[in-house]
Structures are given as C-alpha cells and as structure tokens.
C-alpha cells in the first residue's frame, strides 16, 4: 500500500503555497487538494509537480508499506 509520509498541504504552506494561492495561480484544483487532505491517491503528473514545488524526491512524499495479510 502506498501512503503519504508528509502532510502535503502543510509542506506546501511552509514553502509559501497557501490553498488560496494554489487555486488562484491554477497550480492545483480543489479536487486535487481534497485528495491531499484525505490522503488519497494522486496521479504522477501531480506527484511530479509536488516534487518540483517542494524541491524533493517522490520518496520524500510517499512510501510503500506492505499490507498485513
């Protein structure tokens, strides 16, 4: 299972990207920001943009955790 290692909205806020700015500058739509808040899956394009904005690698944002069987 893929999980988020960080609070994406908080990390964006620390870099100066408020919810208002993300919407106003059309960086992410409301649906995508809702996925961030709910820790739902996002597409690779959004993951790529997050890495660019946060200046990090995908592994800094998400990780694979083996599910108990």
69 in Cβ contact with 63 (< 8 Å): no
Strands 2-4 and 62-64: antiparallel
pLDDT of residue 69: 56
What is d(CA 8, CA 26) in angstroms, rounded to the nearest whole number? 17
pLDDT of amino acid 68: 80
Q: State the first-to-last Cα distance of the chain, in angstroms, to the nearest integer.
A: 12
Number of residues in the chain: 69
Over its length of 69 residues, how does the chain's per-residue pLDDT go in tens digits?
999 999 999 999 999 999 999 999 999 999 999 999 999 999 999 999 999 999 999 999 999 999 885
- The CATH fold of domain 2-64: 434 Repressor (Amino-terminal Domain) (1.10.260)
The confidence score (pLDDT) of residue 37 equals: 94
């Amino acid at each position: 299972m893929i999980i988020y290692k960080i609070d994406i909205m908080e990390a964006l806020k620390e870099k100066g990207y408020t919810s208002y700015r993300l919407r106003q500058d059309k960086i992410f739509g409301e649906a995508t920001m809702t996925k961030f808040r709910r820790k739902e899956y996002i597409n690779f394009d959004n993951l790529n943009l997050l890495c660019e904005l946060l200046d990090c690698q995908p592994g800094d944002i998400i990780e694979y955790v083996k599910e108990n069987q």
